[in-house]
Structure 1
Amino acid sequence: MAAPARPSIWPDLSAKLVARMLSAHAGLGVILGALLYIVSLSGVLVVFHAEFARWEQPHIVERQSVSPELAQSAAQSVLDHARAMDDTPDEIMIFMPTPDSPRLAGGYDDSYWFIDDQARLGERIDHGFSEFLIDLHYYLHLPSTLGLIVVGLMGVMMLALVVSGFLAHPRVFRDAFRSRKPGNGQLSLADRHNRLSVWGAPFHVMIPLTGAALGLATIVALVLAQSEPEMTVTDMFDTVFGAGADQTAPAGPLPDAAQALRVVAKDFAEDGLIPWIIQIHHPGEDEQTLQILTAAPDRLIFGEYLQFSPDGRFIGQTGLENGEFGQQAMASVYNLHFGNWGGVPVKLVYVVLGLALCVVCVSGVQLWLYKRARKKGPQPRLERAWIALVWGPVALIGLCLTLDRVFGIADSLLAPVFWIGLVALAGLSQFAPSKAGLSCGLKLTGATLLLIGASAHFLAYGASGYQNPAAWGVFAGIILSALLLTGDALRQPRAEAMPAVVPGD
């Protein structure tokens, strides 16, 4: 006699509720795919974040270098301003000209200004749009620590998708280099997805790997700190990136940054290090210290921290430039992830490969929608939502560009505009007459907003106001992007954005 069936631990659910849960599950899959895509798309733009910043204020005078005396005077000007405002900054920073940002600037807390050749504080730094892009990519506009962790976890998921995709399709490497006749919509899309995945495989592995390392560093430090009762998360980071100078000066004149800069020029130029950020902690107060973060334009490391005594004598360095292999590797993760090495040619390569990664993200979800439609029937709601989540961010980035550069909207409002707008577009997409019309409309909207923002910005400053090549390059890039979007939207206006599934695909 057969044993009675063991009762299920799960309660009986109505068919209607199960259907709703399955729909919610599918919706979450689309949302996750959209977030991976948004992180990838914003990463493409952040590659040129320094150029975007120079474009936002194109009229600022640029210089390749400044004298140590001017840098010292700039630090004093910042401190004088703070005292005049009854502020007591914990730290003042002077940003020296570098190849990526050949401008002299300085400030404290959240207040920073460009500084002229007389060490006078000039125009306040206003990089609202580029900061919006950076925060979107780094944190998805979440609180910084939480955002880094979330984006880091997404890097882990993307890496898992890349590796599992290759393992699940052992023939993909061979097929990626074979030519075959174009098939139906799904087959052509699968070919594109697989080929771009293989052709950009090293990049597609490196980007999520380094992104996960950057995003999850806080969690790793927290776990490691638990193994040492007397260690904190800050202490764990200090073992890699240093804890700053340990020689302090009493209240009085600022430490001699000018002399420290002379030491950098004399003793570290041969190592390829150039001054980047002068950091004076507790300026003018007891225990003030001096540290200079140098940049290394010809190396993968982001730089090296040099510590100086109050009178400008070199007293030590962190070791990012010549320390242990692991320390140098950690210092290289940032530049490797963002393409901050090799100049504009490397950045352009990152943009091309980054766009390919965006296509892989989009086509992967689209292929999943094809398979779901084949098994469960047409999925018009999910398909429309996905179109909105793909082309909506492009249109909303154009909207944020226009609002920031043309209308001067508060920087803090850009993130709400983006996310509320994206949710609204996903909802309104359900009322679109056709998927092709929805896709075409979003592309044309994005192109129009990009053209308006870039053109209005150019007219505001004029050709004479565009005083650096980066400004012209960004302007040309925005116009080209708008034209490509327009051409793509008008190329096949009557074709469906997602062709119907062909039986047997």
Structure 2
Amino acid sequence: MLGSLRQSMAWLHNWAGLLFGWLLYAVFMTGALSVVAAEITHWMTPEFLSVRPADRTHTLHIAQDWLEKHAPPTAQSWQVELPWARHPALLVAWHQDGQSETAWLDPASGQTISPRDTEGGEFLIEFHYSLHAGLPGILLVGLASIVMLIALCSGLIVHRRLFVDFFTFRPNASTGRAWLDAHNVLGVLPLPFYLMITITALSTLLLTYLPSGINSRYDGNAAAFVAQAFPVPPPLRASSQRATTQSLATSVTRAENYIGHDRTASVWVHQPGQMNSRVDVLRHYDDRLMAFPDRVSLDGRTGQILQIADQYRASLIVMRVMGGLHYGRYAGAVLRGLYFVLGVAGAAMIATGLLLFTLRRTVRPTRFERAASRINVAMIAGPLYACAGYFLANRLCWPQSPGLHEREVTLFFALWALSAAHAAFRQPNRLWREQWSGLTALVLAIPLIDIATLFTQGRLQDALVTPVFPGMWIGCLSVAAICGWTAQRAAT
């Protein structure tokens, strides 16, 4: 009976892994990149290389001065996003009746910076959870996450010698045996991480996947649920009576008596310059698991504390801790690096599983199996081509003109489609060698073009002392070396 169970689980593991593995590979790969999304955004906006740090009080004075000069007197709110360890620039904005203006400033000098029109790492985050397809993409990724859990559990049942398999890797054995060993090694040790990241992925968007609770309890009014779960002070009425808004630095200093010294992430001012203005000071959450910012609300004119939001229901804490575990923002540099490596290992585990399905069927492959072999090429190499194209577009597709983010996304999908077209029509015995060779050249071009453009713009010296840029170059050279080695192996 146990043998029959293992056979059933093996069948389920193989087919669930194949049909959803094509999608899950891209999700895991972009998930690994999402861990360093802030660093990717920094690399994709080299205009911030000239930014110099400043103390927090000076930065807040710079922000308030810009807003008082540029925001209209009737603005409904001001927004200030302070620099932090992974992004050096100061963001200020005002909002009024659907209109707004945003500016990036040097926190030391107050000089306006005009970065290129890129989504940076945010696009990779969005693709990771929605495939850049909105709600249908979110639901599809949710379904794939459930299948991932099924594949992990069925894999545990299939492998009788789980820990022995981890220490068994024979790269010089037959191709099928070597890929199976690689699949086992990549699947065993990081297994707790895979389970954690999959379960927390489902929890972060649970109310999107299962909205019936909100629909029944709040008659489908999601805003009512948010208002109860995250209470805020009563809305302010617009006033024609003008009043001076207290110094933002003073408000932040007072708020940090409750949220911790130097923990402010952003400041919102509602009805600035009016008698009933309110200042909301929001806390960073990159030093703790709960991925939600505490908030202190103050009277904008007198500085009186109106509300302190730092206590939450147990159910909300559980959900936000699950989110924090998934996002990894709480992690320091070393732990973020581990998240990244384990995310790449997950993508590699899925890729080796996809290859095993077709390698075991090389004697008399069916039409579906021949098609699956070509799809493997498009869905393993394709996302790598897409990401390389996305990065190159940032440097080559008229970076100083508006609409760059659209061109970046277009090239992302265009190169993926080109990889798929090559996989569909090229001779099977040349597919992998040509795909990996092309990818080697493409990835190698990223640091070369980056260095050349930075040199011509006079920014190379600043880039050399900014860790994000050498880190990107070393990462690309490492990927190019792996792709080149794989292309050479595919040719033999």
Length-normalised TM-score, structure 1: 0.80
CA distance in 2, matches of 1:111, 1:453: 33
1:349 equivalent in alignment to 2:335: no
Q: Secondary structure at the match of 1:335?
A: helix
RMSD: 3.3
1:35-62 CA-to-partner distances (Å, cap 9, x unmatched) read 2111111111111111122222341424
Quote how far apart the aligned CAs of 1:312 are. Answer: 2.8
1:137 equivalent in alignment to 2:120: no
Q: Provide closer, same or farther for how the CA distance between residues 419 and 243 of structure 1 changes in structure 2, counting only shifts above 3 A.
A: farther
In structure 1, the residue matched to 2:10 is none
Correspondence for 2:42 among 54, 58, 73: 54
CA distance in 2, matches of 1:335, 1:124: 32
Residue pair 1:277, 1:293 contacting (<8 A) in 2 also = yes
Q: Secondary structure at the match of 2:102?
A: strand
In structure 2, the residue matched to 1:448 is 444
Residue pair 2:218, 2:224 contacting (<8 A) in 1 also = no
Correspondence for 1:268 among 259, 276, 288: 259
In structure 2, the residue matched to 1:332 is 321
In structure 2, the residue matched to 1:44 is 32
Correspondence for 2:460 among 455, 460, 463: 463
Quote how far apart the aligned CAs of 1:356 are. Answer: 0.6
CA distance in 2, matches of 1:359, 1:486: 13
1:175-213 CA-to-partner distances (Å, cap 9, x unmatched) read 324566853111221121122111101110111111122
Q: Provide closer, same or farther for how the CA distance between residues 151 and 318 of structure 1 changes in structure 2, counting only shifts above 3 A.
A: farther
Residue pair 2:17, 2:350 contacting (<8 A) in 1 also = no
In structure 2, the residue matched to 1:494 is 491
Quote how far apart the aligned CAs of 1:382 are. Answer: 2.9
Residue pair 1:388, 1:438 contacting (<8 A) in 2 also = no
1:359-388 CA-to-partner distances (Å, cap 9, x unmatched) read 111112222223454564584443233113
Q: Provide closer, same or farther for how the CA distance between residues 236 and 384 of structure 1 changes in structure 2, counting only shifts above 3 A.
A: same
Percent of pairs identical after alignment?
20
In structure 1, the residue matched to 2:294 is 304
Return 145-154 or 350-359, whichever deviates more: 145-154
Length-normalised TM-score, structure 2: 0.81
Q: Provide closer, same or farther for how the CA distance between residues 458 and 439 of structure 1 changes in structure 2, counting only shifts above 3 A.
A: same
Correspondence for 2:175 among 180, 185, 196: 185
- The one-letter code matched in structure 2 to 1:325 is A
In structure 1, the residue matched to 2:3 is none
Q: Secondary structure at the match of 1:296?
A: coil
Residue pair 1:91, 1:280 contacting (<8 A) in 2 also = yes
- The one-letter code matched in structure 1 to 2:438 is L
1:63-462 correspondence to structure 2 within 5 Å: 63=53, 65-67=55-57, 70-71=59-60, 74-75=63-64, 77-78=66-67, 80-83=69-72, 91-108=77-94, 111-117=101-107, 120=110, 122-126=112-116, 127-143=118-134, 145-178=135-168, 183-220=173-210, 222-229=211-218, 232-240=221-229, 242-246=230-234, 248=236, 250-251=238-239, 252-253=242-243, 255-256=245-246, 257-269=248-260, 274-281=263-270, 283=272, 289-302=278-291, 303-310=293-300, 311-319=302-310, 322-373=311-362, 376-377=365-366, 379-407=369-397, 408=399, 410-433=404-427, 434-459=430-455, 460-462=457-459
Residue pair 1:290, 1:309 contacting (<8 A) in 2 also = yes
Return 389-398 or 442-451, whichever deviates more: 442-451
Q: Provide closer, same or farther for how the CA distance between residues 111 and 424 of structure 1 changes in structure 2, counting only shifts above 3 A.
A: farther
**Gaps in structure 2 of 5+ consecutive residues:** 1-13
- The one-letter code matched in structure 2 to 1:128 is E
CA distance in 2, matches of 1:66, 1:28: 52
Quote how far apart the aligned CAs of 1:468 are. Answer: 5.9
CA distance in 2, matches of 1:453, 1:132: 22
CA distance in 2, matches of 1:388, 1:230: 44
Residue pair 2:277, 2:299 contacting (<8 A) in 1 also = no
- The one-letter code matched in structure 2 to 1:446 is L
CA distance in 1, matches of 2:22, 2:171: 30
Q: Provide closer, same or farther for how the CA distance between residues 494 and 142 of structure 1 changes in structure 2, counting only shifts above 3 A.
A: same
